[in-house]
Chains A and B, each alone.
Chain A
Amino acid sequence: MTGQPAPPRYQMVNVHNGYVIIEKEVGGHAARAYFSTEPVPPKEEYREGSRIWKYGGMAQSFQFDILDRETGTVTPFREMLGLMYYGCARPGTDLRRLGELAHEDRISIYVALAYEAPDGSPRQMPIEKLSILNRAFNERLRSAEKKILIVPDCFGLYNELSHGEIMIDFGLTAMEEEA
């Protein structure tokens, strides 16, 4: 016995740094996002079917897989856009109220948001993957009785929130406080 703590079961692997590129519909209110490892997104407007899209912003982010050391299984999380903390949700929203309730039991709720599917339809993070993600993050905790609960986007947040509310690195070049 060496007295060394056991290595964690889960490990974040295959981490790729990149950018979340936001596009907005010209003449509409739709927005969508995709991950790119290229720092220079297309800035020109382009037509896709009956809709025209234009560049709407970008943020630094990363993609990763989770390795389960016990089984050797690597689970990719490439479809995950980001996490949103309940405390960043607007007061009075379902997420905020649910988060406040869970917080009483030292549970911090995060919502996992996924990129759209290739056909443009909204996508949910699979529960099986969120289960792994929950175990991986909870394994890292040290504070007594604290728990992290990452849930799928049952709140329809993808369609209504500003991408700036997601835990991605928006506006890193403008870290100054706004006047």
Chain B
Amino acid sequence: MKLREIAEKLELKPLTKDLYDKDVTGVYISDMVSDVIANAHAGSLLVTAQIHNNVIAAANLVDVAAIIVAQGKTPTEDVVKMADKAELAVFATPLSRWQVATRLYEVGLR
């Protein structure tokens, strides 16, 4: 499934430049950088409430397709710039991580 389709269906707010033609192959939900490094798969969507720049560093290291920042949190401009540079799409949503997970399941991501 394309990132753009997911973003539209979940009404996610894009924070980065248009990088939304990527294919998404799964979902990983975590707020721990170490957990993301150890377990997240390339091409996955990372759903998190963390907005520290180390989340971008970890997501780039394991090549996730995009980050959804849940719980209404907003990363700082510097963090968004870092994501842009790493060609990593970041979205924001007021939904909780649980709500994001259920919506992603509903749109067909398993």
Contact = CB atoms under 8 A, between A and B. Distances in A.
A25 to B, nearest CB: 26
Interface string A152-179: 0000000000000111111110010100
B63 A140 contact: yes
Interface in B44-86: 49-54, 56-58, 60-63, 73-74, 76, 82, 85-86
Given A87-B53, A87-B57, A141-B42, A60 B34 contact: yes
Given A62-B38, A64-B38, A142-B42, A85 B32 contact: no
Nearest to A99: B85
Contacts, number: 80
A83 B32 contact: no
A130 interface: no
A9 interface: no
Kindly state the interface size class of chain A when it binds its partner. Answer: 20 to 34
Contacts of B31: 172, 175
Nearest to A148: B61
Interface centre among B34, B37, B54, B63 (most CB of A within 10 A): B34
Nearest to A150: B61
Contacts of A170: 52
A169 B60 contact: no
A17 to B, nearest CB: 8
Contacts of A88: 53-54, 57, 82
Nearest to B53: A88
A17 B39 CA distance: 13
Interface of A: 12, 15, 17, 60-62, 64, 83-85, 87-88, 103, 108, 110, 137, 140-143, 146, 148, 165-172, 175, 177
12 contacts: A61-B34, A62-B34, A84-B57, A85-B61, A108-B60, A140-B42, A140-B62, A141-B63, A143-B63, A169-B33, A177-B51, A177-B74
Interface of B: 31-35, 37-38, 41-43, 49-54, 56-58, 60-63, 73-74, 76, 82, 85-87
